């Protein structure tokens, strides 16, 4: 398989380790910049299967070229799809997923982790206090009833909520009761929604997977994980 890597991504430690390892292993690869028209420079001429490491926008070029697996289009998948495929290996596998309008507000813990259920970057994932969340949630709901406003977050928008820390706790009530195990909140997902960004899509500051150069076993697990994403499609 030919690996196409966007030059800008080589600043990431994990991608840098990948870029250094591919030539040592004799794996076909090439490095490219992304032009203003979302086309790769120089134009790649790969043979066989192709996988791309770079901006999500490259998926358009991958589709035009018919590359497989190319760039995985993840927008139609949600947290539940990933957990069904990867189980406990998925970060925050034990978190609960709700429609935004149906979050059980009365039983939320004092502090918890939340993120969009889909990879759509509607808000920045990370820990948030119950008070902050309730204020933000109320502001978003107000936008739904204002004909002159538009919110990218809708009642049916999926949200993932998990505990931060070591304790177990049941969130919800009645038929919606969910027992949540400990959830790991890492530096990969830091930040919280703010009222100033209630009406717009928020940037996502999640950092890429960090690999220590020379850690080939970790690198191979990362490559394997990328390949297995196709099982969710």
| 219 inside domain | no
Same domain, 188 and 92: yes
Same domain, 11 and 63: yes
pLDDT single digits (tens) 140-150:
999 999 988 88
Same domain, 64 and 88: no
Last residue of a domain, one of 197, 212, 227: 197
Same domain, 104 and 65: no
Region of 41 please: left (phi>0), alpha (psi -120 to 50) or beta. beta
Listed in order, strand segments (DSSP E) in 12-72 are 29-34, 40-41, 50-53, 69-70
Last residue of a domain, one of 41, 71, 101: 71
Last residue of a domain, one of 49, 71, 93: 71
Q: Full-prediction pTM beyond 0.85?
A: no
pLDDT single digits (tens) 198-210:
333 322 333 333 3
pLDDT single digits (tens) 15-39:
889 989 999 999 999 999 988 877 8
Domain extent, residue 192, equals 79-197
With b for 16 or more beta-carbon neighbours within 10 A and e for fewer, the 101-116 pattern comes to: eebbeeebbebbbbbb
């Amino acid at each position: 398989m030919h690996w196409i890597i966007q030059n800008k991504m080589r600043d990431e430690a994990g991608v840098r380790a990948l870029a250094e390892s591919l030539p040592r292993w004799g794996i076909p690869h090439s490095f490219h910049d992304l032009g203003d028209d979302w086309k790769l420079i120089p134009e790649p001429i790969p043979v066989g299967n192709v996988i791309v490491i770079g901006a999500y926008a490259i998926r358009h070029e991958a589709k035009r070229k018919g590359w497989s697996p190319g760039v995985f289009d993840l927008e139609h998948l949600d947290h539940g799809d990933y957990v069904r495929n990867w189980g406990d290996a998925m970060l925050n596998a034990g978190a609960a997923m709700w429609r935004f309008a149906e979050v059980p507000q009365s039983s939320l813990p004092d502090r918890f982790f939340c993120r969009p259920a889909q990879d759509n970057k509607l808000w920045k994932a990370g820990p948030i206090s119950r008070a902050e969340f309730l204020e933000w949630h109320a502001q978003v709901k107000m936008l739904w009833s204002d004909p002159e406003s538009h919110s990218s977050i809708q009642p049916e928008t999926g949200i993932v909520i998990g505990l931060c820390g070591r304790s177990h706790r049941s969130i919800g009530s009645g038929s919606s009761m969910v027992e949540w195990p400990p959830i790991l909140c890492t530096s990969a997902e830091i930040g919280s929604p703010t009222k100033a960004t209630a009406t717009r899509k928020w940037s996502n500051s999640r950092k890429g997977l960090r690999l220590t150069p020379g850690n080939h076993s970790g690198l191979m697990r990362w490559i394997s994980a990328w390949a297995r994403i196709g099982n969710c499609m």
